[in-house]
Structure 1
Amino acid sequence: MASKVRLSYHRQLFLLLLVFLWTLVASFVLFQYGRERHFKAERLDAHLQLINLRMLDALDNGVEPSVFSTRWKGPFEELRVTLIDREGNVLFDNSLDTLPGTNHLNRPEVRSALRNGTGYIIRRHSESTQRNYFYSAMADDKRIIRTAVPYSVPLSEMLAADPAYLWFMVGMTLLMSIAGYFATRRLGQNITRLNEFARRAERGEWIDQTDSFPHDELGDISRHIVQLYADLQHTAAERDREHALALHEEQEKIRIKKQLTNNINHELKTPIAAIQGYVETLLANPELERERRTAFLEKSLQQVERLRHLLADVSTITRMDEASQLFQREPVVLNELIEEVVADMELRPEDQRLRVHVDFPKRVEVFGSASLLSSIFRNLADNAAAYSGGRDLYIRLADDTAESCTILLADNGIGVEEEHLPHLFERFYRVDKGRSRKLGGTGLGLAIVRNAVAFHGGTISVRNREGGGLEFRFTLRKYS
């Protein structure tokens, strides 16, 4: 039977180096391409949003949209300008002779503008003109202004990443691969010689040819191994077993620790990277316009606030896990906490505000932690305001006995898919990760709610309402 062909140590090491090196380079290239494309799209959107803002100002001053679009002289050829009312009807479009009758509220850029004030989409096909456009929309209290430029070859090339970066990375990686080949070949040759001497020593052969090893640190070590092999064999084996056991225990500890901290580390990277990017931009561009500098500082402050919320939530949930006895218990009136939720909701911006409907006909008092009980209502209300897409929040006392009370908190939003419901209370679990991070969510709010309810001897469940939205049902023991 033919012996199994095995790659030499040199080739194995070199292949491993190649896989690691090219994987690392590919990851950097893909990340840079995506980041550069997103940056260019944001910059183009900023130009178009400036046009949107000027047109809104012109409309407020009584200028007709046709007059504005005719007089506008800017850097974009074939600029398309569309005026849409908040019901989705097109009121003006400079690229069409006949206005379309279709409702435009389902357009992605329009939905985003109604939700966030502005929105854009890189490439979408127009049913009216049968062309692809880069759309940018802005909404105020009365209407939506949308500008668009044709997604032509020049535009796609402008949004594309610079290929010079790719060729530079490929060239550098090739040079590093060649250097790695020679380095691993030398190391592989030394390992091969050591392997041969080890085989001869294991067979008990007399070894007197040590000149083949190089006169360096590896050669000295190899000669000592050969000379002491027989005497130290049993001691080394016992030492290796003890070392393997200790290493396994240490790795198990590290694995458990990583499992606990990996999600936290991952959540910290995004705001830190964003802050670093804004600060580096400010330092690299001291002549930057005052408005843009202020915008970058405000965005950095938002990320700092996100970090503060994340650390506060991590601190809260850690205390509940490891030092729950430190939470002070006292009589807490739930009606007062609900009034705080209502007051807080009224102070929010209009697009983040929900109408709160309270059905709490009697005074309910619970002996527990005021901060944790407040976090239950606050986090559930914040979750509904940020992600439900609804306009109403309902808080109702479903049951009240001498031992416990049951409370329902629901919204009339879009709800979530059934497959996500069992995971909503898991730490750092997000239904829509991109939108959650954009809105500043830490992913710990519902986990804090679950632990806070459990701290007060209760349980919590969630379901999709038949009329739309989510309904949280939780029970609190009055004297736990």
Structure 2
Amino acid sequence: MASWNKPTYHRRLFLWLLVYSWTMVLCFAAFQYHRERRFKAEELNSRLQILNKSLLAETDHADTAFRFDSLPAIEGLRVSVIDLQGRVIYDNSLDSLPAENHLEREEIAGALAKGSGYTIRRHSESTGETYFYSACKGNECIVRTAVPYSVSLRILLQADYGFLWFMIGVTSVMSLLGYFATRRVGLHVSRLNRFAEKAERGERIFDTDPFPHDELGDISNHIVRLYAQLQEAIADRDRQHRLALHEEQEKIRIKKQLTNNINHELKTPVAAMQVCLETLMTHKELAPEKRDEFIARCYANSERLKNLLADVSLITRMDDGGDAIAKNEIDLQEVIADVCDEYALAARNKNVALVDAVSEPLPVLGNATLLASVFRNLLDNALAYSGCRRIEIRLLASDENIISLSVADDGCGVAEEHLPRLFERFYRVDKGRSRQAGGTGLGLSIVKNAVLWHGGNITVENRSGGGLLFHLTFIKK
């Protein structure tokens, strides 16, 4: 069995418009037709009433012997006189008068009730023909005239069809215009329906067919844009949620990794201290020089533990968002100068030229301790591992928003495969050498986190002439 397809909204709307329009036209045409036909009938009745009244003027009694002096030359004119009891007392078209009572005839009843009456078309039983009757009541009788309902009279009484054709033409034009109007509205509704179906299915709507530029089209466009904006907002919310979830998971992973790394890093100094202490406790007869050596090793490993715990504490505070770290208006040039003064003696002991080429004030909103740790760790690494002869801190650019600096040395540099991982926690290029130097493996990680906490960025590369070049940027406000 074939399925029935429901007509589109446009077709249904157009069909209702056609039914409404043509029903109105047919009702108006029928009303106008009967109105005009009645008007022409009343006009003919008025002419016959004039004749009736002139005949009543000649005689107004029920004398069966009367004769009219003259009758107008109207083809087929029939004149009858009926008394008030309904009997025909005269008829110019009959040889013998009919016996039936005429009070029930429409024109006679109208004449008795209102003084005059007419019947548009009625078959006469006396003559066997169809007539238009008009009756007028006198004091003692009723005069009735009738004309045959011939073709010419039928044409005369018919309404003029010109207005009907005019109405049909106007309605046809209106129907054509209505088709395009309903088609336009139907397109609106169809597009909104497709949009609603997509919205119900939860589909992403980036764009739809443009709506016409009218009030309904503007409303439709607003609805689509609002839905698209809502979808985008929901998508942004989901993205932010996924990003926050990823960041939270990453923080958990990093903390777990940090815990494992700290556990690993703590084992070495603790084990070394334990060996030294056990030796001192077991061998009390050790020479003073040996006892001092073991005590010095314990002290060095305790210092390493202290530095490790301080670095872990600092990096943990930055991981937690740094809310407890205060920001103040400080001069970065002064921070760099203080750090360089602090490391001047260590640099001279290693025959390293430490050059501070930053000579102008660099106001930033930040934390002096964190900023100092940035340059301390960079200088520590350069002095401990690079084997350099010169370290230079230089101002590259400064404007109202950004400060750009470089920290460079002329040492041995780092193999290219290590560069992407230099800022990872506990990552060491030479693990044995780093531990011997007392490094915690967190220095460059602290540098990067501190720079990021200040809204800046840091990159590293090998210099063409040897050594490393760190490029730092800081946001002033």
TM-score (norm 2): 0.46
Look at both structures and tell me which one has the larger radius of gyration over its CA atoms. 2
TM-score (norm 1): 0.46
